[in-house]
Amino acid sequence: VDRAETRRRFANARVAVLATVGPVGPHVVPVVFVVDGDRVYTAVDHKPKRSSRLQRLRNIDANPAVSLLVDGYDEDWNRLWWVRVDGSARVVSSGYASHGLDLLQQKYPQYRDRRPGGPVVVIAIERWVGWSAT
């Protein structure tokens, strides 16, 4: 899979898994996201949360290294693919945040009437890794 196709598959996906490193091990949570050049944006939104002090944000504060995975599972294992992005995350709340929220609202109709209110996570992409079974 070439570089452009790898990026396209990732950017077009509707959901990714965000992995961070916690105090004792890895933490993973699905996120909706948007790609803008070499950055990925994801936001804390109105979807119900298990806790108001989100583990993902605490982890990023302590260790900004994150990975995002988009998985193209298929029962025909010759058609499997995935794309992983490794990068450095930070939690933002002003100009960057507003730009990310605009892009998220463009990608997801679910956000159009309900702009996410929480902190925005910006991930500076450091590595693209694409894999395909064929």
Pair 82, 69: CB distance under 8 Å: yes
Please name the helix (run of DSSP H) or strand (run of DSSP E) that holds residue 80, with its range, or none: none
Q: How far is the CB of 18 from a second copy (least distance, A)?
A: 9
The reply on whether position 52 binds a second copy by CB under 8 A is no
The reply on whether position 86 binds a second copy by CB under 8 A is yes
DSSP-assigned states of every residue in 84-124 = EEEEEEEEE-SHHHHHHHHHHHHH-GGGTTS---S-EEEEE
The reply on whether position 51 binds a second copy by CB under 8 A is no
CB closer to a second copy, 71 vs 102: 71
The reply on whether position 125 binds a second copy by CB under 8 A is no
Amino acid letter, 133? A
What residues are paired with 72 via a beta bridge? 81
In angstroms, rounded to a whole number, what is the distance separating the alpha carbons of residues 67 and 127?
9
The reply on whether position 25 binds a second copy by CB under 8 A is yes
Q: Number of residues interacting with a second copy: please give it, by CB under 8 A.
A: 34
In angstroms, rounded to a whole number, what is the distance separating the alpha carbons of residues 50 and 2?
39
Q: Which of 29, 57, 103, 125 binds a second copy (CB under 8 A)?
A: 29
Binding site for a second copy (CB under 8 A): 14-15, 17, 19-21, 24-30, 47-48, 50, 63, 65-69, 71, 73, 75, 77, 80, 82, 84, 86, 110, 129, 131, 133
